[in-house]
Structure 1
Amino acid sequence: MARRAQPVGRRAGAAVALGLVALTLGTLGAVAWRAVGTWGLVEGLGPADWAALRFTLLQAGLSAVLSVALAVPVARALARRRFFGRRALIALMGAPFILPVIVAVLGLLSVFGRGGILNAGLAALGLAPLSIYGLHGVILGNVFFNLPLAVRLILQGWLSIPAERFRLAAALGFGPSQIARQIEGPMLREVIPGAALAIFLICLTSFAIALTLGGGPRATTIELAIYQAFRFDFDLGHAALLAALQFAISGAAMLLALRLTLPQASAAGLDRPVERWDAASPWLRAQDAVLTTLAALFLLTPLALIVTQGLPTLLSLPGIVWTAALNSLAVALASALLATAAALALALAISGPRPALYEAAGMLPLATSPLVLGTGLFLILNPVIDPSRLALPVTALSNAAMALPFGLRALVPALREVEASHGRLADALGMRGLARLRLLIVPRLRRPLGFTLGLAAALSMGDLGVVTLFAPPEGGTLPLQLYRLMGAYRMNEAAGAALLLLILSFALFWVFDRGGRADADT
């Protein structure tokens, strides 16, 4: 692979790697300089900051534990059953990853909020209403997003167990408890720690969920405290101090997550379909059916309510919403193109000498968060230019950086396969540089390139992070405008804007991903 690396790939990859280092570590340096220059790192933290730190760790820890604990029985049910709609349900497990957070929050409010269907049912029974705001609301939002991720991660562990082990267990007369102890238990001990820590890392930076469902000072995360220091106090030194603290926590969690999420070694087998004789009892069948039904209802009900409530007002939304939608589309397209081009350049460089350096540079954005990145960019730009004038470009840049590691994960294995199967022939034909890129690599990478474009566009379309720091009062993107409508209690218009955002996000992903799949084998 090193022999086939092309200079054009190395040069572009080096430029992208240096840009990522400058963007992440450079903004962190600006944050640290401002934080240390204003206070000592420890002396500058007040009681409210320590409370925010405790709440951040508490909500992330509880969310990770609950997500994994609920995912284990659901993943087991999906692993040992075959039923109509199973593939669609498993595919649905990936939908929350590209679902705009603010849309999901509005859907959860439609179910669990003050005027939601749950409280309507309680009122009909003469019971007191429940409040979704506070710690339990934040955890509910985090579990909604991360339960599907946990199911997918744990399900992969179940599917990696060879069918021959279950055949041998059946021959030995193992029951469900013995199967769980001898076969499933060791797999879960390998998979669960990494899955839980990955979700913990995601929940550390759940800004939009805490912003909308936190409900007050007692439910403030570090990310929310950064936003409050910017928007309400305009205390840049305090915001920088909190951003440095957030980076330290996220970086430590990321390093630990990478250490625990090593690829699981697949046991040898003949790739036969798994038949679970141990789960043939009517009781276990009913149990699995109930679990899969409840999981599907938990995921689908908020989305169904968004559609039904948003349809009546979708075409009568005010002009400011449509302007925000155009802004979001521009930001999403720019972010997708930038993230995909950068990921491809890094992937080409990783196929050459010193791949670890390029891989480390590509993973750097995982160690930070959009608000920390935005804080550093604001500190750098503020003395030179009005940051609100660069709200959309900075948002696109930040979103591209956040999506790049996921694109890299999709492109690197595919590029290695292309080089392994066609690299020698390309070398023999003297195909190098741009010709190799245009004639061999890009056509063979249409699937992962389309997926990367769609994923980056959808993630950028629904992002509510950096834009909250930079946008002027009347400008911004569609997620920010949706949040403003919710804050003004214009819930009918908010439902229409949420449906519009949902349609645009999934449409972008579908168009780009389908474009990558069409004629992919030619």
Structure 2
Amino acid sequence: MKVSTDRRLRLAGGIAASMGLAGFLAGGFLVLVLATGAGLPLGESLSDRYIRGVVLFTLEQAALSTLLSVLSAVPLAIALHRARFPGRRAILRLFLLPQALPVLVGALAIVAVWGRNGVVSDALAMAGLARLDVYGLSGILLAHVFFNLPLAARLMVAALDEVPAESWKLAGQLAFSPTTTFRLIEWPAIRQVLPAAASLVFMLCATSFTIVLVLGGGPSATTLEVAIYQSLRYDFDPGRAVVLSLLQIVLTALLVMAANRLGGDAVASFGLGGRTKRYDRTGALLKLADGAVLALGLLFIASPFVAVVIAGLKADLTRLLTEEAVIDAALTSLWVALSAGLVALLLSLPILAAIEALASSERRSGSRLARQSRRALEVTASLVLVVPPVVVGAGWFLGLRQVTSVFAAAPYVVVLTNAAMAVPFVVRILGPALATGHRRSEKLADSLGLAGLSRFQIVDWPAIRRPMGLAYALAVAISLGDLGAVALFGNREFTTLPYLLLQRMGSYRTEDAAGLALLLGLLCLTLITSSESATKLRHGSGR
């Protein structure tokens, strides 16, 4: 096979995979619109008081969550970067865990710490003060800050790590005060990543589903995604679901465009603390202040994990592990998650191969068409950010209802939806490694005429072998903890662990819910941390 033929085949495979992904994401919604058999009274709907309230609350809670997360992250990131102690990297690794923790488990953890019967409320009651109520806007904000504060702090630490060493040396030589160091060095570095962090957090909060579903306080605390779910699952109002889905897609598309324009690829900027050496002077008072900030941040982020473990251990884990419903839900979750992870890889690899084939053509000829086509494929890989899972599920839920049994098709729709959710993350993990491998070996591979399977074995596979395990584990963990798609399709015959956990919460079986949350959280965290460790070990053995 010729090299040119190999590139054409890679491009064809990538286009086919991207069209399949786009067709699944857009197809359900298009079928939904056609299946309703009615027009879309957008003007009338936008004047609807309930819909206006949902849109405004979606934007309000996202804006407040972003403000709290980003403002809190600034002093925390600076204290982390300035401090030097043996456990610093461990703290930065702890900041990875909220992203690996299933959102439903995180919401339960917030209730265990801040809820009416939580640790903080008990302390307030002992002091003669009123207990807290986390259901409504306050609980949603707490949960969003728990998940997004570490994310924003890591982005800012990564930005500070990129400050040239000469700047820190100059700060030490000129004996800059902490205020001057912040004004001339720290703030300019943080300011560069601040739009990216804020836009990313805002988008995550605006598309939040599970947190609002669990902690929302009724109609006054409902976001667009939860309203779509309620319109189908409880009210069965397809017309309203269509309008809400359109509004959600438009809102998310605007957010993604704003994120790309303001911040670029923020997700690629994570850092675990490099070897940056600071020479600026810190007095005892500043060290004390840094210690207080770190202690408060660590307490806020670590306490929900501790609460999940303590509450989970109080449950009858032996009974849960032998209960037929739990075993069936666990097996269902595992096969759905493993299948979704595999499908995500099978979709991502052809898209990445096509992107690299177009990048190669762009480097050789500077083709504008190749550049535009490459960007189109990159956008397609991130389409799930524009069309959220609840919208996809809503579309297929009503579309399939016209031709077959929705619940018979449920497993396949959930697997495909979860796989689509994981594709952007798999592409982000494998893409840089594959691009680096191609830049290093492309000319030699072309001169040797490597193509087809030989090129994959010699050029592609060595580049992606190390991060492949992490990409697959992340895809599996995303599917294991997802509640978006299965919330619509779940039933007695098709129950996953998150769906069973939601059912136990709804029937006030709190001990069972706590035990299931512990099992689900441990399963997801083990997948992520073990895969990351294995990846790093393979990296080390390759040096």
Q: How does 1:246-257 map to 2 (within 5 A)?
A: 246-257=248-259
Counterpart in the other structure of 1:22: 23
- Would you say the 8 A contact 1:35–1:41 is kept in 2? no
Cα-to-partner distance string for 1:22-43 (whole Å, 9 max, x where unaligned): 1223334334556793431121
Please state how far the C-alpha of 1:422 moved relative to its aligned partner.
2.2
Q: CA offsets per residue over residues 83-111 of structure 1, 9 Å max, x none? A: 12111111111111111011111111111
- Partner of 1:381 in structure 2? 400
Q: Which residue of 2 aligns with 1:426?
A: 445
Aligned partner of 1:91 in structure 2 is 93
CA distance in 2, matches of 1:186, 1:35: 52
Structure-2 residue corresponding to 1:314: 317
C-alpha distance in 2 between matches for 1:221 and 1:345: 35
The equivalences for 1:15-414 within 5 A come to: 15-33=16-34, 37-45=38-46, 46-262=48-264, 273-278=276-281, 280-311=282-313, 312-317=315-320, 318-353=323-358, 354=370, 355-414=374-433
Q: SS of the residue aligned with 1:39?
A: coil
CA contact (8 A) 2:161 2:276 kept: no
Q: Do the aligned partners of residues 516 and 449 (structure 1) sit closer, same or farther apart at CA in structure 2, a change above 3 Å counting? A: same
Q: Give the distance between the partners of 1:90 and 1:343, measured in 2 at CA.
A: 29
CA contact (8 A) 1:169 1:179 kept: yes
Whichever residue aligns with residue 317 of structure 2, its letter is L
Q: Deviations over 1:398-450 (max 9, x none)?
A: 11111111111121211111112222333343321122213431233122211
Deviations 1:437-484 (A, max 9, x none): 134312331222112101111111000101111112563211111011
SS at match of 2:42: coil
Q: CA deviation at 1:263?
A: 6.1
Post-superposition offset of 1:162: 1.0
2:231 is aligned with what amino acid? A
Separation in 2, partners of 1:263, 1:468: 31
Which residue does the alignment assign to 2:365?
Answer: none
Q: State the 1:189 CA deviation.
A: 2.4
3-state secondary structure, aligned to 1:190 = helix
Deviations 1:252-286 (A, max 9, x none): 0011101111369x9xxxx97321423x1111111
Amino acid at match of 2:45: G
Task: Supply the distance in 1 between the matched residues of 2:74 and 2:225 (Cα, whole angstroms).
Answer: 30
Q: Distance in 1 between matches of 2:6 and 2:289?
A: 53
2:343 maps to a residue whose letter is L
Offset of 1:143 from its aligned partner?
Answer: 0.6
Quick check: 2:113–2:304 contact (8 Å CA) kept in 1?
Answer: yes
CA contact (8 A) 2:411 2:494 kept: no
1:475 is the counterpart of 2:478 = no
Kept in 2, the 8 Å contact 1:35–1:241? The answer is: no
Could you give the per-residue CA deviations for residues 55-109 of structure 1, whole angstroms, max 9, x where no partner exists? 1000000001110000000100111111121111111111111110111111111
With over 3 angstroms needed to count, the CA separation of the structure-2 counterparts of 1:117 and 1:507, relative to structure 1, is same
Distance 1:33 1:63 in 2: 36
Q: Give the equivalent residue in structure 2 for 1:445.
A: 464
Q: Secondary structure at the match of 1:465?
A: coil
Across the aligned residues of Structure 1 and Structure 2, the Cα RMSD in angstroms comes to: 2.2
Q: Residue type of the partner of 2:15? A: A
- 3-state SS of the aligned residue for 1:84? coil
Distance 1:177-1:4 versus aligned 2 partners, 3 A rule = farther
Aligned residue number for residue 362 of structure 2: none
Distance 2:197 2:535 in 1: 29
* Contact in 1 for aligned 2:135/2:216 (Cα 8 Å): yes
Tell me if the contact between 1:7 and 1:433 (Cα under 8 Å) persists in the aligned partners: no
Specify every segment of 5 or more residues in structure 2 that has no aligned partner in the other structure, as ranges.
359-369
Where 2:299 maps in the other structure, the secondary structure is: helix
Counterpart CA distance in 2 for 1:400 and 1:155 is: 31
Q: CA deviation at 1:183?
A: 1.8
Distance 1:176 1:461 in 2: 45
Deviations 1:172-223 (A, max 9, x none): 3321111222222222322112211110000011111001111211111111
Q: Distance in 2 between matches of 1:85 and 1:409?
A: 28
Matches of 1:148 and 1:83, distance apart in 2:
19
Does structure 2 conserve the Cα–Cα contact (< 8 Å) formed by 1:395 and 1:466?
yes
Alpha-carbon displacement from aligned partner over 1:117-166 (angstroms, at most 9, x marks no partner): 11111121222111011111111111111111101111111111112112
Distance 2:389 2:409 in 1: 16
Equivalents in 2 of 1:314, 1:479: separation in Å?
16
> Residues 511 and 91 (structure 1 numbering): CA distance in 2 closer, same or farther, change over 3 Å?
closer
Q: Aligned letter for 2:144?
A: N
Contact 2:45 2:51 survives alignment (8 Å)? no
Distance 1:205 1:35, change over 3 A: farther
Q: Percent identity?
A: 40
TM-score normalised according to structure 1 size:
0.94
TM-score, structure 2 as length reference: 0.90
The one-letter amino acid paired with 1:229 is S
Report the count of equivalent residues: 516
Alignment match of 1:492 (pick from 497, 511, 519): 511
Q: Distance in 2 between matches of 1:12 and 1:421?
A: 23
Q: How far apart, in 2, do the equivalents of 1:287 and 1:497 lie?
A: 39
Residue range with higher mean Cα deviation, 415-424 or 65-74: 415-424
Structure 1 stretches lacking a partner, 5+ long:
none
Deviates more, 1:356-365 or 1:477-486: 356-365
